[in-house]
A = this chain, B = another copy of it.
């Protein structure tokens, strides 16, 4: 096997551990110099490939690459850019192959979620049609935990640990204050389509009275009366009520709570998220004093509280992607397989992209308690292993140390390309 170059890009919303996958890919490539020459990273994801804006990763020291393992965000830039339909916008796909050809790239590692798995598959199919020998491997990543086949999506475990920990900590805060002050605390978490992250908040408590007392899942239609009755019950019984609310919470008719047509005094759409919306209902219907928090980027960037399990899995799928490519596998994705639930044991298998692309998975209904406000033991057993272990980054001057890659540009060899 002769030596050829590899391309790596990050796609979609980043995570606390997507750079750990980058680290795995790059380190594994560096260990195979007989097959893989340089690694080029796409600046800002696939856009970097389309515009021939490549980063020469060989200019980065081993120390910098190792530091990616504990650096959140996407070190090479990511993008929200979905390649268009291949039949009508074939030019984009052909351009990718041209760029790969121009830089002798024969390995394509694409680190993303369901959409990018689809892109990866199409690029692979087209390169085959065009007679260009490309090995395309998808590296799984998404905080939403909605990829099929794999036991979990790298990135999810760390968000889950952050949300469970934050719920636990904030619950102790409100429990101290509730006698004379705040009665209800609402934490808004990510997950527009599936309640996995909201469910992770449920790991903070165990028994009936332990917070969080109310979880609002996108999977369960929001019934204001039922929710408020439950909140009132909790405040009466436990003195306070902690709510974890998914940003995807919606009414029976599918309307998002956070997008229910409320406008401010100037007639603009209300800017608030679902947390202030729910907190407002609490105030209006029950009169309780509330606090609310919106974790937003903090949750998916919180590398300081990453799950060790998640970091290890993210790194492992990165390495395995290279192993698959070197073994001549094409159009595949490394996936996590759960070998044993307790103690949690896992390995990495491979799955064909055709079975991954464009298939979302949702929370099973039996992971949500009968009243719709909590998680079941089955859910707890499933999620708990994913937040196990800590993997604190090094700190300097009180702050986490992060990688500072040089991001050297590769000289262009092709004419401009307009997106």
Which residues of A are in contact with B by a Cβ distance under 8 Å? 10, 13-14, 16, 43-45, 47, 71-75, 77-81, 161, 164-166, 168-177, 179-181, 185, 187, 203-204, 261-266, 268, 270-273, 275-277, 279-280, 283-284, 291-298, 300-305, 307, 384, 387-390, 392, 395, 397-400, 402
Contact = CB atoms under 8 A, between A and B. Distances in A.
Contacts of A263: 264-265
B161 A398 contact: yes
Main secondary structure of the interface of A (DSSP, over half): mixed
A279 B271 contact: yes
Contacts of A296: 170, 291-293
A392 B390 contact: yes
19 contacts: A43-B179, A71-B172, A72-B172, A77-B175, A80-B177, A165-B399, A168-B400, A169-B303, A170-B297, A261-B265, A262-B266, A265-B270, A268-B280, A275-B294, A276-B276, A294-B294, A305-B305, A307-B398, A387-B398
As for how many copies of this chain the complex holds, the number is 2
B268 A271 contact: no
A242 to B, nearest CB: 10
B73 A175 contact: yes
Contacts of A78: 176-177
Nearest to A308: B398
Contact of A304 (B77, B165, B262, B298): B165
A284 B268 CA distance: 9
Contacts of A399: 161, 164-165, 168, 203-204, 387
A169 B72 contact: yes
A255 to B, nearest CB: 14
A265 B187 CA distance: 23
Contacts of A171: 73
B169 A298 contact: yes
Contacts of A301: 166, 169-170, 172-173
Nearest to A403: B172
A279 to B, nearest CB: 6
B276 A273 contact: yes
A392 B180 CA distance: 31
A285 to B, nearest CB: 12
Given A161-B398, A172-B402, A264-B280, 11 more contacts: A47-B180, A72-B173, A73-B172, A166-B302, A168-B402, A187-B298, A268-B284, A271-B283, A276-B276, A293-B298, A392-B392
A246 B287 CA distance: 26
